[in-house]
Structure 1
Amino acid sequence: MVVDASVSRDAAAPAARGRTRRGPSAWVAMYHSVSDCRQDPHDITVTPGRLDRQLAWLCGRGLRGVSVRELLAARARGEERGLVGLTFDDGYADFVTAALPVLHRWQCTATVFLVAGRLGGENDWETYGPCKPLLDADGVRRAAASGMEIASHGLTHTDLTGLPDDLLHAEVHESRTLLAGITGGEVGGFCYPYGTVDERVRAAVRSVGYRYACAIAPGSAAAGDLALPRIHIRQADTAVHLELKRRLARAWGRALEKTA
Structure 2
Amino acid sequence: MYHSVADPADDPYNITVSPERLDAQLDWLRRRGLRGVSMERLLDACARGRGRGLVGLTFDDGYRDFLDHAVPLLHHHDCTATVFVLPGRLGGDNAWDPLGPRKPLLDADGVRRAAGHGMEVASHGLTHVDLTRADGPTLRREVADSRAALADLTGGDVRGFCYPYGHADPRVLDAVRAAGYAYACAIAPGPLTGPLALPRIHVGQQDTAWRLRLKQATGGPRGRTLRPAAVTT
TM-score tier after normalising by the smaller chain length: over 0.9
1:224 aligns with 2:189: no
- For residues 172-191 of structure 1, the aligned pairs below 5 Å read 172-191=143-162
Q: Which of 3, 10, 29 is residue 58 of structure 1 equivalent to?
A: 29
Name the residue aligned to 1:258.
Answer: 227
**Separation (CA, whole Å) in 2 of partners of 1:47 and 1:255:** 30
Q: Contact 2:58–2:82 at 8 Å: present in 1 too?
A: yes
1:194 aligns with 2:165: yes
SS at match of 2:60: strand
Q: Which runs of 4+ in 1 moved over 4 A?
A: none
Aligned residues: 228
Shift in CA distance, 232/255, structure 1 to aligned 2, threshold 3 Å: farther
Q: Which amino acid aligns with 1:45?
A: T
Residues 185-222 of structure 1: CA distance to partner in whole angstroms, max 9, x if unpaired? 00000000000000000000000100000000012x31
Q: Which amino acid aligns with 2:153?
A: I
SS at match of 2:219: coil
Name the residue aligned to 2:3.
Answer: 32
Question: Where do 5+ consecutive residues of structure 2 fail to align?
Answer: 229-233
Name the residue aligned to 2:209.
Answer: 239
SS at match of 1:31: coil
Q: Contact 2:90–2:107 at 8 Å: present in 1 too?
A: yes
Query: Scaled by the length of structure 2, what TM-score is found?
Result: 0.95
Q: Contact 1:213–1:226 at 8 Å: present in 2 too?
A: yes
1:93 aligns with 2:64: yes
**Separation (CA, whole Å) in 1 of partners of 2:159 and 2:203:** 24
Q: Which amino acid aligns with 1:104?
A: H
Q: Contact 2:195–2:226 at 8 Å: present in 1 too?
A: no
Shift in CA distance, 55/250, structure 1 to aligned 2, threshold 3 Å: closer
Query: Scaled by the length of structure 1, what TM-score is found?
Result: 0.86
Name the residue aligned to 2:99.
Answer: 128
**Separation (CA, whole Å) in 2 of partners of 1:256 and 1:103:** 25
Residues 27-71 of structure 1: CA distance to partner in whole angstroms, max 9, x if unpaired? xxx000000141000000000000000000000000000000000
Residues 54-111 of structure 1: CA distance to partner in whole angstroms, max 9, x if unpaired? 0000000000000000000000001110000000000000000011110000010000
1:203 aligns with 2:170: no
Q: Contact 2:163–2:185 at 8 Å: present in 1 too?
A: yes
1:164 aligns with 2:114: no
Q: Contact 1:217–1:254 at 8 Å: present in 2 too?
A: no
**Separation (CA, whole Å) in 1 of partners of 2:197 and 2:87:** 20
**Separation (CA, whole Å) in 2 of partners of 1:51 and 1:71:** 20
**Separation (CA, whole Å) in 1 of partners of 2:224 and 2:212:** 14
Identity across matched positions, percent: 61
**Separation (CA, whole Å) in 2 of partners of 1:97 and 1:177:** 26
Q: Which amino acid aligns with 2:125?
A: G
Give the drift of 1:116. 1.3
**Separation (CA, whole Å) in 2 of partners of 1:177 and 1:217:** 27
**Separation (CA, whole Å) in 2 of partners of 1:236 and 1:250:** 19
Residues 119-152 of structure 1: CA distance to partner in whole angstroms, max 9, x if unpaired? 1011111111110100001000110000000000
**Separation (CA, whole Å) in 2 of partners of 1:248 and 1:161:** 28
Give the drift of 1:254. 4.5
